[in-house]
Chains A and B, each alone.
Chain A
Amino acid sequence: MNAPRLSIVGLNKSFAHKHALTDISLDIHAGEILALLGPTGAGKTTTIRAIAGLESLSSGRVYLNGSEITQLSPTDRDVAVVFEGFNLLPTLSVYDNIAFPLRSTIYRETEEVISERVNKAADNLRISLLLSRKVNQLSGGERQRVAIARALVRRPTLYMFDEPLSALDLKLRESLVAELREMQRMNGATMLYATHDYGSAASLGHRIALIENGHILQVGTLSDLIATPRHIGVGRLIGSPAMVFFDVLNDKDMLSIEGLPWKWRFDTSLPAVAGITQGLILGIWPEDVELEFSPRTGFAQCEVHATDYRGLDRAIELRRGTNRVRKAIALAPAVQRGDSCWLGLPTSKIFAFNAQTGERVPGSLTLLESHE
């Protein structure tokens, strides 16, 4: 059967004064890693807890492997969660922590089976030498691996990771992302991975679900999200540097950006309502922005305001008036603060977003005038 591994439909959850989740719907396919990307407080943890059964829902349904589990208690759901704080049991040794789920009343495995599974999981995560240690003697990275081993040992239908890597050193985080990817390759595990870090989400997730303020903005592969962002939040969350935004001035039917020398006409299939062109924000991916270091017609002159050495490349910030553009460029030629450069915005790559709702307004831009 081709039912997705996990399916959540219309989840809604409110706390006392706040809507934590509004109409959350997602599918995760077997063998897939879905990254749930969003800023702190967006609802990632609440979503994970709802799927695990640790939160009651105002409405919505959860399906695992095609059957509904919405009413089941957490112990009866075949999911494993690695929480942000790892939630290891401090009084038990590493071995006992990993073995814990197998000894619960639901699973009740024999000691031989337990021993074999625990050792295999520990081996997988290279913590076999730590099995007899007490949890509080471990470093952050080691605890992380114990928490993952504990999830691994159950072979659940779905793994969920709640930002387990954000507190750790960056290097540790990178190696563990590689670890998880490897684990997924070998076992074909299905995973939901929640994070606020675009880099981790992009390198780990087959698809990415963007969440902001309790709403799912868009779900898709990274190339989908880049090619057709449906919401301004997508531009904010994806990319390093993220999307460049410009506030739009509206004069009759012509759009322009203050301080920049171009004017466009915006044709949209949506009914022509004055409000639409009134409150628009234009966005473009920095990779699509064109940059020259000598004058070019049709390009706007800007000043390099700051540079940021990133090892493999350099990120620079250009300013003209109140406009700021951040883009990554190659290390050569060496660019310095104060240098001039010329900025070009290819019309076909510009997206228009509704300034109020944040949703993308479909339509086409045509360049009318260019003063430089």
Chain B
Amino acid sequence: MKKTIFYRLSDKTYCGVFILPALAVLVLMVAYPFISLLYYSTLNFSILRPMQETQHIGLQNYTELLTSPDLWDRFIFTGKFVVMTVGIQMLVGTAIAYFLQRDFRGRDILFTIFMLPMMLCPIVVGFLWRYIFNSEWGMANYLLKLIGGEKMDWLGRSENAIWAVVIADAWMWTPFVILLATAAFRSIPNDINEAADIDGASPALRFFQITLPLSAPILLIALLLRLIDAFKQNDLFFAMTGGGPGSETATVSFMLGKLAFGHFYTGEASALAVILLLIITGLSMIFVRYLLGISQKG
């Protein structure tokens, strides 16, 4: 029996057929809502009161948002948060991965333990650290007192609270960086490491001149993913500070949540969502361009 029919279909047709289901889902669940989002962002509209007459106000939502000093404060706060937490994650994560390269007794167990924080539910992590940072009976202040320090108001004051959430977020996501950094280090052929050895490179020189540059593509992916996630971080703020005091520890994402599902200013929230989307997309594109630049060389 000659199976000639399947053979005749070109590769392109095959591709099309297999992509179709995924494409359908994409359209239904992403494209349609997205277009709706853009539409809503031009309306003065609240889904709580769908019957009320909606006004088309064009880009007024956008102008209001972008000229609001409060929103800019939120942007600055978000920026601070992202830089701090991702910075810690990348540095600590890469360092830990570096030291876990060499095989020693118990290394695998240690590695697994390091992975645990990432496995927890974000909201659980939020509450966990909220209790740790509780001013009265939290572990943090307990340990501080043990080493002779003073009790601190971690979550009630915004300059401390940002550190608290950064610590919680970094604790949860550094394992991700460890994982990717380990993969990056492992992907370097052993020959290259041996060649560096024979060339007489000290461990430091080898790390900065060989290991790091060759790991760059994967590490940059890790960086990009962490940045995007940090921008969106909500659960920790929700659990630990509720955005407070006031709205001093609210990130832009948190604001968005409040606008959309707290105040139900759907139109405004949609506009803010679009703004956030543009920022994240813009950053990602810059990254990808840079990443491509690095891999072109190789």
Interface on A for B, CB 8 Å cutoff? 53, 56, 71-73, 75-76
Contacts and interface: CB of A to CB of B under 8 A. Distances in A.
Contact of A56 (B2, B6, B11): B11
A72 B11 contact: no
Contacts of B10: 56
Nearest to B2: A76
User: Which 3 residue pairs across A and B have the least CB separation, nearest first?
Assistant: A73-B7, A73-B3, A76-B2
B11 A76 contact: no
B4 A71 contact: yes
Nearest to A70: B7
A35 to B, nearest CB: 29
Contacts of A75: 3
A160 B111 CA distance: 49
Tell which of B4, B7, B11 has the most Cβ of chain A within 10 Å: B7
A56 B4 CA distance: 13
Nearest to B9: A56
Nearest to A74: B7
Contacts of A56: 10-11
Chain B contact residues: helix, strand, loop or mixed: helix
A13 B8 CA distance: 16
Contacts of A76: 2-3
Contacts of B3: 73, 75-76
Contacts of A72: 2, 4, 7
Nearest to B8: A71
A72 B8 CA distance: 9
A283 to B, nearest CB: 38
Contacts of A53: 7
A323 to B, nearest CB: 37
A76 B2 CA distance: 7
17 contacts: A53-B7, A56-B10, A56-B11, A71-B4, A71-B7, A71-B8, A72-B2, A72-B4, A72-B7, A73-B2, A73-B3, A73-B4, A73-B6, A73-B7, A75-B3, A76-B2, A76-B3
A49 to B, nearest CB: 14
A53 B6 CA distance: 13
B6 to A, nearest CB: 7
Contacts of B6: 73
Given A56-B11, A73-B4, A73-B6, 13 more contacts: A53-B7, A56-B10, A71-B4, A71-B7, A71-B8, A72-B2, A72-B7, A73-B2, A73-B3, A73-B7, A75-B3, A76-B2, A76-B3
B14 to A, nearest CB: 11
Contacts of B2: 72-73, 76
A75 B1 CA distance: 10
A39 B124 CA distance: 61
Interface in B230-255: none
A61 to B, nearest CB: 15
A36 to B, nearest CB: 24
Contacts of B8: 71
A76 B5 CA distance: 13
Nearest to A105: B1
Contacts of A73: 2-4, 6-7
B16 to A, nearest CB: 16
Interface in B1-39: 2-4, 6-8, 10-11
Nearest to A75: B3
A72 B4 CA distance: 6
A73 B11 CA distance: 14
Contacts of B4: 71-73
A71 B7 CA distance: 7
A305 to B, nearest CB: 31
A127 B297 CA distance: 47
Nearest to B7: A73
A250 B11 CA distance: 52
A76 B1 CA distance: 8
A56 B11 CA distance: 9
Nearest to A53: B7
A81 B237 CA distance: 62
Nearest to A76: B2
A76 B6 CA distance: 13
A6 to B, nearest CB: 19
A72 B1 CA distance: 11
A73 B6 CA distance: 8
Interface in B29-76: none
A360 B119 CA distance: 70
Contacts of B7: 53, 71-73
A73 B4 CA distance: 6
B2 to A, nearest CB: 5
A14 to B, nearest CB: 13
A75 B6 CA distance: 12
B37 to A, nearest CB: 36
Contacts of A71: 4, 7-8
B127 to A, nearest CB: 48
Interface in B197-243: none
A295 to B, nearest CB: 50
B178 to A, nearest CB: 32
A75 B11 CA distance: 18
B13 to A, nearest CB: 12
Nearest to A73: B7
Nearest to A71: B4
A72 B6 CA distance: 10
B153 to A, nearest CB: 62
A337 B3 CA distance: 65
A206 B4 CA distance: 34
Nearest to B10: A56
A286 B148 CA distance: 90
Contacts of B11: 56
Nearest to B6: A73
A73 B2 CA distance: 8
A106 to B, nearest CB: 9
Nearest to A106: B1
B9 to A, nearest CB: 10
A73 B9 CA distance: 11
